[in-house]
Amino acid sequence: MGENKHHEKESFFSSWAVDNRTTVYVLTFIIVILGIFAYMSMPRESFPEVVENKIYISSVYPGNSAEDVEKLITKELEDKFKNVSGVDKVTSNSFQDYCLITVEFNEKVPLAEAKQRIKDKVDEAKGDQDWPTVDSGSKVEPSVFDLNISEEMPILNVNLKGNYPKFTLRQYADDIKDDLEDIPEVKEATVLGVDDNEVEVALDIYKMNAAGVSFDQVINAIRNENITISGGSLITEGNRENVRIKGQISTPTDVNNFIVKPGVKIMDIAKVEFKEKEKTTYARESGKDVVMINLKKRSGTNMIAAIEQAKEKIKKAQETYLPKDLDISLTSDQSTDVEHQVNELANHILIGILLVMCVLSFSMGLKNALFVGTAIPLSMLIAFAVLSAFGVTLNTMVLFAMVMGLGMLVDDGIVVVDNVYANMEKGYKRREASKFGIGEIAFPVITSTLTTVCAFLPMLMWPGIMGKFMRYFPITISVTLLASLFVALIINASMTGGGMTLDNKNITGSQAKKYTIIFAILAIVFGGLRLITGVEFFMAIVTLSVLAIIAIWLYKNFFHDRIEHFQYTFFPNLAKKYQTFLRGLLQGKKPRNAFLGVVGVLIFSFFLYGVMMGVGRSKVLFFPENIPKQVIIYMEYPQGTDIAKTNGATKQVEARILNVLKQYKDKKTGENFLVESMVTQVGKGAINPQIDAGSEADTPFKSKTTITFVEFAKRHGVDTGEVMEQIRKAIPNIPGFTFTVEKDANGPPVGYPVSIELKGDNYDELLAEANKMITYINKQGISGIEKLQSDINKESPELIIDIDREAAGNMGVTTAYTGITLRRALFGQDISTFKDVKDDYDISVRLQQDQRRNTSILFNQPITLQGPNGSVIQVPMSTFSTMKEENTFNKIKRKDNTRTIMVYSNVLKGYNANEIVKKIQASLKSYKTPDGITYSFGGEQEEQSKNMNFLLFALFLAMALVTSIIVFQFNSLSKTLIIMTTIFLSFAGVFLGLSIFGMDFVILMTMMGIISLAGVVVKNGIVLMDFFVLKLDELVHKKGVETHDDLELEEVKEIIIESGKERLRPVLLTATTAILGLIPLAVGLNFDVFSFLTTLNPHFSVGGDNVMFWGPLAWTIIFGLSFATFLTLIIVPVMFYIISKRKISRRRKYVEKHAHDAEKEAEEQERLKKLYPEEFEEYHKKKGGDDPIIEA
């Protein structure tokens, strides 16, 4: 700090940058290269990869009902997991033959450690003596695994169709599958729509009985014959020859000649066929059968790169080994969505940059605007480099954070460049102006940026899957803002120190002509290259060259004069009017009235929004209502339904859906302009992730149809939400066939909007109560509920066979052998393998189809035993067992060791889930559940409550962090109070905006916006407050008084007015640029810059998926920041004046009181001196001071 001029202080790093410009320019070049490389190499995806802190345990136990699986496996494992440290929740689903347990750990436990803890407990359970075994005698082996959501979602469907047998299509699909799985980014490719082939040995029970042959004999015959064995090496005359007995079959029909026993061949008792296994899957595209390949990518890899390589592989296969008439189509291509979202947000960034640069050019001049404007691309490139180094992917969360920070990235640059410019106007040379100008405001710029970052930091503590999904937002914006601080204090310092000027010269005619010739030559050269090569990039250079020519002449003949008028006439006049207004406002009781008026506006805004909610104009939502990009119809028959029946019903639904969609055809081309694809899966691949997540159970009773729409800009204005309602109404009412119509999730899974969990021990009573509750709620006539249903039913048919142990024992028959025989007859047994050139196929033995579907034949089939003298004894099963038919549960759910059933429903379009749930809760107040049964609301409501609580906590924590930094900077509670008050008052702008425009309060996005405001609003307040303090310090220094409170009130008022006038431009600019940076996203302004440059077609549109998701957050910040700008320019000076007035008044009273006391004291001294002159003098000499007190 200089001795003579109080404000001549420097920032070490900024001054270094001014003195070492070459080093800074080289550093900037390196940053640009690293940033571009990082941007190009970052994996692209729609949403961030989320790995839940959950461990899954699946276990297969064939031939057992859901209740048996629960009793023998699920409960046993759950008991082991009770005492595992770090476990938050345990849920399970027990199905027929299968169970899936989900163990959710708290965030503090690393996933790998959690997995190991569960593995240890599973191994412990397997070591128990009563742990169940399978047919072969080996113990049931549970599988322990974790799931990455991004790895489980298919990124592409490859559909094959043509006039070929299914087996041939399957072979082509397998070949393509092998090619696709060679791609490093691909995790797996799964073939659907056709099952594997097998060699089926279909036994005739009557022929077996006549020949006295058992299943064991048939199985042993095939196993012992279909084998190749090495006999070792034979050494003869110095040569070593391998001896090999070759017995493996070369064609499936070879099995016919295997001898079961003397005189009996396989062909005598069975039919051998090479055929498709029993159907477990169907797949269709637009109602036509296809063989489908589902492609899934690896975690952390580039989705777009994976799909591009997949397309190349398919193209190469079509050119080489695939027949020309094989039709291959690609559907559910996630890369188009990702590319569209990434491009859309990138275009928002470019549009935002153009808007910001326009504002800056008018306010600061073109050259200074370029100084400030460099902060945007440089900050983003630094952020890309940092994020890429930490493995962050390029997704919508990252890009939106960039968009939101777009206007704020220039805040620090505006303040820096504006203050350097102001110092040059005061007569400083360029280098000194840069050093002193940045030195003056470096500290407030740093602290104001830190306050903004601190407002976002609490969101890093967001728990659960939602937190893992949303935390990329605060990470990205914090990195970007810190990068902008570096750019402002280092790079901008170097640029202003080397190139800032006060004049704003126009382009001369000769310069304009010279530049025009240069750009014209570029346009001609690259235009020719475009015609020769067809490369689109060359056309972009042509367009840019033409635009540059237009911009040069527009600037010379139009914009330069307007910019000068704005800078030197309009803005100074605005500043004078603001100065006059502020001077008038700081008179008498006006400051107090102004402050109370704003507080009144805050209260009124809350009241107004409450009224808007009351009349239904605004609603409270948990997550933004997205326009459907996909509509998914989940269909289901009761468990136990054959897949053929499910497929038949699904075809009926498809026909109705196609009838709805056919109306959206282009009148000129006849093509459907709305639908990109319609894909159906029956059986495999048809699970609903909301209720079946992680399940690998067979689902022949389920199906799923997915309709994917074209991108928003190409929908001709059609609301796909309305189309979804039309589809829902069109689906026929098929007895026993239930369905739900859903849209694609615009974020992480949170459950159904209506979700009621019933808990109890007796599952029959629990299910009856769930159905009773559904009936009760339906009678209340609550509108908006799609269809209440239970996720549990007792409609799975079961054939119970009771063994008479005494009778069976007397015949030498065991229960185990009876079960094995029955299972072989029904399901068959894979006993060997047929190997051809390409693949291996199972050889399966079972009864022929008509016999294994005949209950009488199955129940009366003989159990073949070896008699005491070696003879064969055949005992009919019916002689020692009885059979009865029952229904059992489709599955049994448990949550934290208690049986549960979920009653759930979607909400119809146009209805609010929160309001519906409130009505249901109100109606259930008079509903009584039996003893032992309780219920609670879960799903989306549970997530909403948890996330709302966290966001409130994050808001208060953000306020506390911001307060701490402001106190640290100013060391003053009063100044901190002023700035923090503006945050609370800015909420008035939010709720006024939401009320006026009838917008919904979206808990996640609006609350994130309010938290963001806490950091954004204080930036200008801090810089303005610091300027007040700086100017007051100068005046205190000049007058030689002790504190600000020793100044005259009029002096303080003039400093407030002059400082406000001086900071008017940066305050307005920072707010305007922040708002303009968000406008494209808030309104969904879509302008495809690259398409415009290459084809002159900008694909202009307004709205879209991104605006539905991010719009509420963007508008919250726009409303709040607009009002906060008014607060900064009006209320901050008003409050500072009110507090200064009180402080000066108190100081004046204090000084007057002490002056009066000193005067009285002096009079007393004189009186004592006159009365006791000698004593006074003597006392004075002893004390050596001026103490006038003399003891009597």
**What is the length of the chain?**
1192
- Among the listed residues 54, 62, 78, 52, the one whose alpha carbon sits nearest the alpha carbon of residue 893: 78
pLDDT one-digit tens code per residue, 588-604? 889 999 999 999 999 99
472-486 vs 375-389: helix crossing angle, rounded to 10: 130
Collapsed DSSP state (helix, strand, coil) of residue 89: strand
Residue 829 token pair: 């047994």
Residue given tokens 């801090």 in the structure block? 1022
* pLDDT above 70 for 1189: no
pLDDT over 70 at 1182, yes or no: no
| Helix H or strand E segment including 271 | strand 270-276
* 22-36, 409-423, 907-921, 969-983: least confidently modelled range: 409-423
Which pLDDT does position 828 carry in this prediction? 83
At 539 the three-state DSSP class reads: helix
* pLDDT tens, residue by residue, 10-68: 788 888 988 898 999 999 999 999 999 998 888 887 777 777 888 999 998 877 888 88
- What's the confidence (pLDDT) of residue 1183? 56
pLDDT at 1192: 37
- Residues 636, 631: Cα–Cα separation, whole Å: 17
Rounded Cα gap, residues 765 and 889, in angstroms: 12
* Lowest pLDDT segment from 175-179, 1016-1020, 1054-1058, 1166-1170: 1166-1170
pLDDT in tens, 748-783: 667 788 999 999 999 999 999 999 999 999 999 899
Predicted confidence at residue 8, as pLDDT, reads 64
pLDDT given at position 602: 93
Instruction: Read off the pLDDT band of 480 (50, 70, 90).
Output: very high
More confident residue, 362 or 840: 840
| SS3 assignment, position 654 | helix
Q: How far apart are CA 281 and CA 190, in angstroms?
A: 12
Give the confidence band of 696 by pLDDT, cuts at 50, 70, 90.
low
Q: What is the mean pLDDT of residues 295-314?
A: 89
Token pair listed for 1137? 């004046």
Residue-wise pLDDT tens digits, 840-881: 899 999 999 888 888 888 888 888 777 666 677 888 888 888
Using alpha carbons, select from 895, 887, 748, 946 the residue that is nearest to residue 66: 887
Instruction: Look at residue 1190 in the predicted model and tell me its pLDDT.
Output: 42
Average pLDDT over residues 987-1002: 92
Q: What is the pLDDT of residues 730-741, one digit of tens each?
A: 998 888 888 889
**What pLDDT is recorded for position 1149?**
75
Among 43-47, 656-660, 807-811, 887-891, the range with the most confident prediction by mean pLDDT is 656-660
Query: What distance in Å separates the CA atoms of residue 142 and residue 78, rounded to the nearest whole number?
Result: 13
Residues near 200 by beta carbon (within 8 Å), at least 6 away in sequence: 272, 273, 274, 275, 828, 844, 846
* pLDDT digits 0-9 by tens, 382-399: 999 999 999 888 887 888
- What local confidence, expressed as pLDDT, does residue 656 receive? 94
What three-state secondary structure class fits 52? coil
Q: Residue 581's pLDDT band (boundaries 50, 70, 90)? A: very high
Containing H/E element for 1026?
helix 1003-1039
Which residues are bridge partners to 87 per DSSP? Answer: 105
Amino acid in the structure at residue 170: R
What CA–CA distance (Å, rounded) separates 771 from 440? Answer: 72
Strand (E) or helix (H) holding 892 = strand 891-895
Q: Which residue has the higher pLDDT, 898 or 43?
A: 898
617 token code pair: 């104009």
What is the pLDDT, as a whole number, of residue 4?
40
Higher pLDDT, 639 or 882: 882
User: Could you tell me where the DSSP H helices lie in 131-279?
Assistant: 149-152, 166-180, 205-211, 215-225, 266-269
With 0.85 as the threshold, say if the pTM is over it: no
Least confident stretch, 178-182, 216-220, 617-621: 617-621
How many other C-beta atoms are found inside a 10 Å radius of the C-beta of residue 278? 16
Residue type, 13: F
* For the chain, percent of residues with pLDDT exceeding 70: 95
> Is 801 within 8 Å of 883 (Cβ atoms)?
yes
- Per-chain mean pLDDT for the chain: 86
Residue 248 has a pLDDT of 87
Q: Where does the pLDDT of residue 309 fall: very low under 50, low under 70, confident under 90, or very high at 90 and above?
A: very high
Q: At what angle do helices 1105-1126 and 334-364 cross, to 10 degrees?
A: 20
Average pLDDT value for residue range 1033-1038: 85
Find the range with the poorest average confidence among 87-91, 401-405, 1086-1090, 1153-1157.
1153-1157
Bigger pLDDT: 503 or 1102?
1102
